[in-house]
Amino acid sequence: MSLSRRTFLVSTGAAGLSLALTGRAEALHTVRPGPRAGYGPLLPDPAGILDLPRGFKYRILSREGDRLLSGQGRVPGSHDGMGSFTGSRQHTHLVRNHENYPDATNTVPTAGLATTYDPGAGGGTTNLVLDPALRTREEYVSLGGTAINCSGGHTPWRTWLTCEETEGRAGTNGYTKDHGWIFEVDPYDNRRNADPVPLTAMGRFMHEAVAVDPSNGVVYETEDAFSGAPLGSFYRFLPKKPLAGHGSLRAGGTLQAMHAPGLNDMSLVREPGTTFTNVQWFDVPDPTAATTPVRAQEYAKPIVRGQKLEGCWWGDADGCVYFVSSFARPKDGSAATHDGQVWKYDPRRRTLTLEIIFNGTDADDTYECPDNICMSPYGGLMMCEDSSGENYLLGTTRDGEPFTFARNRQELSPGETGELSGVSFSQDGRTLFFNVYTPGTTFAVTGPWRRHS
Can you give the pLDDT of all 453 residues of the chain as single tens digits? Answer: 122 222 332 322 222 222 334 443 333 333 344 566 789 999 999 999 999 999 999 999 999 999 999 999 999 999 999 999 999 999 999 999 999 999 999 999 999 999 999 999 999 999 999 999 999 999 999 999 999 999 999 999 999 999 999 999 999 999 999 999 999 999 999 999 999 999 999 999 999 999 999 999 999 999 999 887 899 999 999 999 999 999 999 999 999 999 999 999 999 999 999 999 999 999 999 999 999 999 999 999 999 999 999 999 999 989 999 999 999 999 999 999 999 999 999 999 999 999 999 986 555 678 999 999 999 998 889 999 999 899 999 998 877 778 999 999 999 999 999 999 999 999 999 999 999 999 999 999 999 998 654
Global pTM exceeds 0.85: yes
**Alpha-carbon radius of gyration of the chain:** 20
For Cα atoms 359, 234, 277, give the angle at the middle one, nearest 5 degrees. Answer: 80
Torsion angle of C-alpha atoms 439, 443, 449, 452, degrees rounded to 10: -10
Q: Looking at the DSSP assignment, which residues form a beta bridge with residue 86? A: 92
Is the separation of the CB atoms in 29 and 317 below 8 Å?
yes
Is the separation of the CB atoms in 180 and 166 below 8 Å?
yes
Q: Is residue 46 part of a domain?
A: yes
Q: Looking at the DSSP assignment, which residues form a beta bridge with residue 324? A: 342
- The length of the chain in residues reads 453
Positions of E strands within 261-308? 275-276, 280-283
Query: Which residues constitute the domain of residue 427?
Result: 31-61+361-453
Positions of E strands within 316-419? 320-325, 341-346, 351-359, 370-375, 381-385, 392-396, 402-408, 411-413, 416-417
What is the Cα–Cα distance from 302 to 225, expressed in whole angstroms? 17
Distance of CA 409 to the CA centre of its chain: 21
Q: Is residue 328 part of a domain?
A: no
What is the Cα–Cα distance from 357 to 322, expressed in whole angstroms? 13
Q: Is residue 419 part of a domain?
A: yes
Q: Is residue 332 part of a domain?
A: no
Q: What's the N-to-C CA distance of the chain in angstroms?
A: 20
Q: Is residue 278 part of a domain?
A: no
Q: Is residue 387 part of a domain?
A: yes
Q: Is residue 240 part of a domain?
A: no
Q: Is the bond into 347 cis (omega within 30 degrees of 0)? A: no
Three state DSSP letters for 10-34 = EECCCCCCEEEEEECCHHHCCCCCC
Q: Is residue 414 part of a domain?
A: yes
Number of separate domains in the chain:
1
